[in-house]
Amino acid sequence: MKTLVQCAPLWLALIFFLGPLTLGAEGKHTAGSTPEFGLPPDGVPRPLSPYSTLWFQFQYRGDRTPIEIRLLDGLAPDIQFAVYTPELMEKIQRGEPHKPIGQMVRANGEPARDLSWAGKFPNSGKYYVAVQNPSALTRSIRLLAMGTAVEFPHTTGISNAEQPKQNQPAAAAQASRDVSAQPPASAMPAHLIANAVWVELPGYVGAASFSIPLTARPARCTPANAMPANVTRSVLLCPNETYAPFRVTGSNLTVYGDPTALVQGAPRGFGITVTGNNVAIVGVRVAAATQLTDVNTWLCLYEACTYDTIYQKGAVRGGIGYGGGILLQNNSNTAVIHSTVWGGTIGVASMRSTNNKIVGNNLSNLNGWGVYLMSANNTFVVNNTLNDVNRGCTGPDGFFYQSGCESAGFACAGCQHSIIVGNTCTRAGNCYYADGLGGIKSNANRFFNNYCAAASNNCFEVTYTQGNQFDYNIATADPATGTNCAYPFWISGSIVQFGKHNDWACTHSQKRAEEESKISTLEPTEVRGL
């Protein structure tokens, strides 16, 4: 059995600030360059240039509940940070003498795993942390502020995997809880089955292999100009024709594609929307489209998110509202097989559905999520290719991020008892992500024999979940470019089960990923053996 190694923090004594801090008027307004443009202390890895200071800010309710701040900087012997109250920041801005609440430094230069500070205050407002690098080396740091009264102003309404549970947006949580009764998993009538696609699962997955039934392939294709807006019978797409978006409202049918046929998606819509049961989408090609206003914005994983920053206010429709390739909605026993989607926000989405199958597809070159599950249980996601699902964006904080703006090869919220096996993901924000925040559950899923290379954030991330299993997975560098993955996994607030055959080979080690996941939250975080 593998047990999470708890990092023993070094509780350092407060010492007086070494000198007065001044704010340069000519500094550029880049993320972290000034207190006003402080970054959220959310544990995201950030570079710290030589001889420089990086600023962070967070909101505190002032109810005298504890705050804990931890600086995770590897073994750097020279990093230091200082904490400033709102009153101290006013003094700094007026140019008055000041000293921080405390400055944490290395004791005699000895490298510790992290620097930690704790305190509590009666006053609400914005609190600030200045992280200083007095050396000639660039450092990679992760700053975490934890506490029940701690909030990150610019992440209101954003699903942040490393925020405490109580900071999640009410609108998103409510939207995710609003799960109507899922359809029963009734099988296709035997007399309609003309063929089947067999899906073999490795024995160690612990789930039975299965077949996906198909109806007879039509003798004649349906031209694009004759394609009904609502498909109620099996159809075959014609070679070299381009189809407008359509819906599949009938049940017990198959949509057959052609290697040269194309379904052209529309911005904020799906190329194919399926609401019928026992439907198979086989071998289609969808060129999805992204609305221009969605290209460089931070994505909302949920059906709705509420933002309240100086740069963005109000609610936005997220999740399937961004559109994409193929949407499976309110159905069961529906499959997408050997199909290709590119160019939009979502590859294949399964929403409020059960027992659906997403098998052998190429869902690459997307800017949101390759596979997206929301309140979808018992889903099989098998042998898909999920490459280059990543994006830069300008966040609700007004700053530009080069990659990882809520993007993942596989993403789910409210997915349970699903099988994620044999998939390949390269150069994504996260490769595989399951979220259990906001009153939803993403529990008891099995991640087996999946490959992840060069994920800019985490190869496997499960937050605030129970009973997810991992074995025979690979987290490694991209063999084509040599770019490594940052973290093999992130399991904040989760109790997970690891088998003995995972190969975690990212920049940060398995031990460090375990330790930092644990100290990023007050919720129980533990690795158990399978």
- Give the pLDDT band (50/70/90) at residue 2: very low
The mean per-residue pLDDT over the stretch 401-414 comes to 88
Averaged pLDDT for residues 229-256: 97
Q: What is the mean pLDDT of residues 244-273?
A: 97
Q: Where are the beta strands (DSSP E) in 226-329?
A: 230-231, 235-236, 242-243, 246-248, 253-256, 262-264, 270-274, 279-282, 285-287, 304-308, 313-317, 324-329
pLDDT digit string (tens) for 268-325? 999 999 999 999 999 999 999 999 888 888 888 988 887 777 677 778 889 999 999 9
Question: What is the model's pTM?
Answer: 0.70
| Other Cβ atoms within 10 Å of 329 Cβ, number | 18
Both tokens of 302, joined, read 């949920």
Please give the pLDDT value at position 102: 65
Host H or E run for residue 88: helix 86-94
Measured distance CA(77)–CA(110) in Å, rounded? 6
CATH number of 190-529: 2.160.20
Neighbours of 462 (CB within 10 A): 30
The predicted pLDDT at position 221 comes to 98
Whether 213 and 355 have beta carbons less than 8 Å apart is answered as no
**What separation in angstroms does the CA of 90 have from each of 126, 128, 227, 299, 310?**
11, 11, 66, 34, 20
Q: In the prediction, which pLDDT does 114 show?
A: 66
Contacts of 432 (CB under 8 A, 6+ apart): 408, 409, 410, 420, 423, 425, 447, 450, 452, 459, 460, 461
168 has pLDDT over 50: no
Where residue 93 falls among pLDDT bands split at 50, 70, 90? confident
Reduced to 3 states, what is the DSSP secondary structure of residue 91?
A: helix
pLDDT of residue 237: 98
Predicted confidence (pLDDT) at residue 371 exceeds the cutoff of 60 = yes
Considering Cα of 95, then 96, then 102, then 107, what sign does the dihedral take?
positive
Sheet with 80-84, edge to edge strand ranges: 102-104, 80-84, 125-133, 52-60, 150-151
Phi-psi region of 32 (alpha: psi -120 to 50; beta: other; left: phi over 0): left
- The rounded distance, in Å, linking the Cα atoms of 64 and 55 is 24
103 pLDDT tier (thresholds 50, 70, 90): low
**Does domain 10-21+29-151 correspond to CATH entry 3.40.50.11270?**
no
- Give the gyration radius of the chain's Cα atoms: 25
CA distance 323 to 142: 33
pLDDT reported for residue 519: 86
Q: What are phi and psi of 34, to 5 degrees?
A: -140, 165
Q: What is the pLDDT of residue 16?
A: 27
Residue 297 confidence (pLDDT): 82
Instruction: Provide the residue ranges of all domains of the chain, joining segments of one domain with +.
Output: 10-21+29-151, 190-529
Q: Taking 70 as the threshold, does the pLDDT of residue 107 lie above it?
A: no
Stated length of the chain: 530
Residue 21 has pLDDT above 50, yes or no: no
- Please tell me which residue, 484 or 137, carries the higher pLDDT value: 484
Strands 346-351 and 369-374: parallel
**Is residue 313 a contact partner of residue 306, using CB atoms and an 8 Å limit?**
no
* Contacts with 500 (C-beta within 8 Å, 6 or more apart), sequence order: 471, 529, 530
* CA-wise closest residue to 371 among 400, 332, 403, 339: 339
Instruction: Give me the DSSP letters along 17-56.
Output: -SS-----TT----TTSSSTTPBP-B---EEE-TTEEEEE
Cα 345 to Cα 287, 318, 383, 426: the distances in Å are 11, 11, 20, 17
Q: Which pLDDT band holds residue 174 (cuts at 50, 70, 90)?
A: very low
pLDDT the model gives residue 12: 27
Q: What is the mean pLDDT of the chain?
A: 83
110-159 confidence digits (pLDDT tens)? 555 567 788 888 888 999 999 988 888 777 787 888 777 787 644 322 23
Please answer whether residues 327 and 273 qualify as being in contact, where contact means their C-beta atoms are separated by less than 8 angstroms: yes
User: How far is Cα 72 from Cα 82, in angstroms, rounded to an integer?
Assistant: 14
Distance between CA atoms of 518 and 492, rounded to whole angstroms?
A: 6
Note the pLDDT tens digit of each residue in 442-468: 999 999 999 999 999 999 999 999 999
* pLDDT, greater one: 473 or 520: 473
pLDDT at 162 over 70: no
* pLDDT > 80? residue 480: yes
pLDDT at 32: 81
Return the bridge partners of 463, or none. 435
Distance between CA atoms of residues 73 and 452, nearest Å: 25
As a whole number of angstroms, the distance between CA 325 and CA 236 comes to 18
